[in-house]
Amino acid sequence: MPRDLDQTASESAASEPGTDKPSSNGRVQRTAPRRRISFRKRRLRVDDVNVVDRSMLHRAIGGTIVGNTMEWYDVGVFGYLITTMGPVFLPEADASVQTLFLLGTFAATFVARPAGGVFFGWLGDKIGRQRVLAATLIMMAASTFALGLLPGYDQIGVWAAVLLVIVKLVQGFSTGGEYAGATTFVSEYAADRRRGFFASFLDMGSYLGFAVGAALVSVLQMTLGSAAMGEYGWRIPFLAAGPLGAIAIYFRLRIEESPTFQAALEAQERSVHELAANDEGATKGPIGIVRSYWRPILVAMVVVAAANTVGYALTSYMPTYLTESKGYDELHGTLLTIPVLVVMSLCIPLTGKLSDRIGRRPVLWIGAVSTIVLSIPAFLLIGIGSVPATLAGLALVAFPVTFYVANLASTLPAQFPTASRYGAMGIAYNFAVAIFGGTTPFIVDALIKATHNDMMPAYYLMATSLVGAVAIFFLQESAGRPLPGSMPSVESDAEAIDVVENQEEDPLIDLAHMPLAEVPVAVAPDGEAVQLPLDHPAAIAAAEQAGIDLEATALEAQVSGEEPVASGTSA
């Protein structure tokens, strides 16, 4: 309970407890307990809370979805054309060698992703998310278009294969900044209590993009035939990335910077440095980020590895598996996965919404446990060889993917503070995908060839999800909570008022992780507290001893249009 400041100022000037003191009449009097001085984060104000602009949120989601769709469109096209492109670039090699080369080239894309993630993540934390995301999309679209222009072995010999690898490396470098930036961007735009739902649309767009790429390849295979596909038809899906990329770039350029990052920039411009004070890695670059946040980065990497191993097994490897190991022709190997991908994509927002209700960790655990339980039945069904059994097996693989990927976009950014979020995401996500996700088709195919056991994919998925289930235990639950280093984000003014009025009782509100200034508070032994004026002698003395910059606090109050302290208010 706060008391009037004038009644407590003299008590607040010292930190000793009450003492016995003889009076003039010889009796011993008990002096009032002296208050101790401490520094606390100031309380939230209504204008601290970000009220989401729904039209800008929808524009931000649309502008980021197009980039993820473009990225996975290329993944789908390349994955479904592996058996077709092998003879184009290595016509003299054995069919199995051609497949391994194309799968290795696909994996090489992910080798370049960590470098792109580190670079674009660092850049995005410096100059903003929106500009970097525009740059990554332009690079992705251009490199995908360039694939359709590459000469084959018949024109320039082995250099055709070399150029293919180079273009895929450039593409991997650009995509390294795409997903990390998109998830960071949407997470910072969305309201805290609905972040899982809105962020899940990113992965819905990703898998729909994959399905669109696969569908286009299937249509071309049916209309052109194998000979024409090998001669020129394989180029068409890549060349289509030109106009599709131009449309996507237009939408992305229309989105504005995230309000959370914009608030951070404004704080830095007025020299308060609130954000840096709450983020040790903010000014130290990628090395500083790893040193400061190596534990959450490691946990995030394991979870990403488990999720993407299943995801890439379903998308990028399954057409090859069905064609090479199960006897399907190229067309059916492509067509069978498309309906499963479409249904799975439409279910992703539902699992994202579920995570807002029951938490991110429970939903991720469903993904891990269902992978362990369903992998063997899934591949046994696929092994039967009939179309209905294959579809049922693919659906069993898709089920855990739905619970995994729907929550990565909202879970991972919430593990890191605002000033280092893009950079930390770029490191954690891309290193994990490079080591485990993108290499899954290559590793699984090599395991099958080495062991002659078609069940190796199931065993591999089970092993990665077993480790992933352990890592989920160490994730920080973030459902409904403000992002670290950010103010609360809500959907209405009424909700903002409610957050401020109930901030002490709300378990989801933690002022310690928000960019709020430290203010001097006089605390009595009974817990009664009162905020002191910044020029109070006791506050100045305590600030010097604690190394607190009261000038920064005063500047914040001045910029916000408030007095440095209101008499009689609690901290």
Work out the number of other CB atoms within 10 angstroms of the CB of residue 451.
Answer: 11
By the 8 A CB rule, do 413 and 428 touch? no
Helix axes 178-189, 195-228, angle to 10 degrees: 150
pLDDT for position 468: 94
Token pair recorded at residue 472: 């989920």
- Residue 324 phi, psi dihedral angles, 5° rounding: -85, -35
| pLDDT at res. 92 | 81
Question: Average pLDDT of 306-335?
Answer: 79
Angle at 307 between CA 137 and CA 61, to 5 degrees: 35
Four-residue CA torsion sign, 455, 100, 224, 245: positive
The mean pLDDT of 69-76, rounded to a whole number, is 81
pLDDT of residue 22: 52
Tokens 């995570």 sit on residue: 355
Higher pLDDT pick, 280 / 160? 160
Q: Nearest CA to 186 among 351, 357, 410, 16?
A: 410
> What distances in angstroms separate CA 45 from CA 41, 211, 375, 500, 511, one per listed residue?
12, 46, 51, 6, 12
pLDDT of residue 486 exceeding 50, the answer is yes
Q: Model confidence over 535-569: pLDDT tens digits?
A: 677 667 766 665 666 665 555 554 444 444 433 34
HSE (side-chain half, CA atoms, 13 Å) at 440: 31
- pLDDT higher than threshold 80 for residue 476: yes
Residue type for position 116: G
Q: How far is CA 391 from the centre of its chain?
A: 31
Model pLDDT, residue 551: 60
Q: Is the pLDDT of residue 62 over 80?
A: yes
DSSP lists the bridge partners of residue 504 as none
> 20 has which bridge partners?
30
Higher pLDDT, 274 or 463: 463
Contacts with 215 (C-beta within 8 Å, 6 or more apart), sequence order: 338
Neighbours of 152 (CB within 10 A): 21
When pLDDT is cut at 50, 70 and 90, the band that residue 42 belongs to is confident
> By mean pLDDT, which of 70-74, 211-215, 457-461, 537-541 is the weakest?
537-541
Q: CA 436, CA 430: separation in Å to the nearest integer?
A: 10
Predicted confidence at residue 365, as pLDDT, reads 96
Q: CA 445 → CA 140, 313, 316, 435, distances in Å? A: 27, 10, 12, 16
Q: Sorting pLDDT into bands at 50, 70 and 90, what band is 127?
A: confident
Residue bearing tokens 């293919």: 164
Element (H or E) spanning 344, and its range? helix 337-358
Q: Say if residue 29's pLDDT is above 60.
A: no
136 pLDDT exceeds 60?
Answer: yes
pLDDT at 14 (0 to 100):
38
Residue 56 confidence (pLDDT)? 83
Environment class of residue 118 by beta-carbon count within 10 Å: exposed (0-12), middle (13-18) or buried (19+)? buried
Q: What pLDDT score does 544 carry?
A: 62
Q: Which pLDDT does position 4 carry in this prediction?
A: 35
| Dihedral pair phi/psi, residue 55, rounded to 5° | -65, -40
Contacts by 467-471, CB closer than 8 A, 24 or more apart: 467/302, 467/305, 467/306, 468/302, 468/303, 468/305, 468/306, 468/307, 468/368, 469/306, 469/365, 469/368, 469/369, 469/372, 470/302, 471/299, 471/302, 471/303, 471/306
Residue scoring higher pLDDT (299 or 552) = 299
The pLDDT, as a whole number, for residue 17 is 40
How far, in Å, are 19, 37, 521, 540 from residue 530 at the CA level?
A: 21, 10, 6, 15
Please, what are the domains in the chain? 1-17+32-42+517-571 (no CATH), 47-258+285-473 (1.20.1250.20)
Using pLDDT thresholds of 50, 70 and 90, give the confidence band for residue 347. very high
Is residue 412 very low, low, confident or very high in pLDDT (cuts 50, 70, 90)? very high
User: Nearest Cα to 570, choosing from 477, 503, 494?
Assistant: 503
Task: Kindly tell me the burial class for residue 158, based on how many C-beta atoms sit within 10 Å of its own C-beta (0-12, 13-18, 19 or more).
Answer: exposed
DSSP state of 230: I
* Mean of the per-residue pLDDT values of the chain: 80
Q: What is the pLDDT of residue 32?
A: 42
Q: How far apart are CA 275 and CA 550, in angstroms?
A: 16
pTM across the whole model = 0.77
- The least confident of 98-112, 196-210, 421-435 is 98-112
Choose between 364 and 118: higher pLDDT: 364
Closest alpha carbon to 53 in 262, 350, 352, 273: 262
Is the model's pLDDT at 316 over the cut of 80?
Answer: no
Inter-axis angle of helices 285-312 and 387-411, nearest 10: 160
Of 241, 72, 287, 79, nearest in space to 148 by CA: 241
In this structure, the chain runs to a length of 571
pLDDT digits (tens, 9 = 90+) for 158-188: 898 899 999 999 988 888 888 888 888 888 8
What residues pair up with 515 in beta bridges, in sequence order? Answer: none
Round to whole Å and give the CA distance between 38 and 73.
56
Pairing of strands 20-22, 28-30: antiparallel
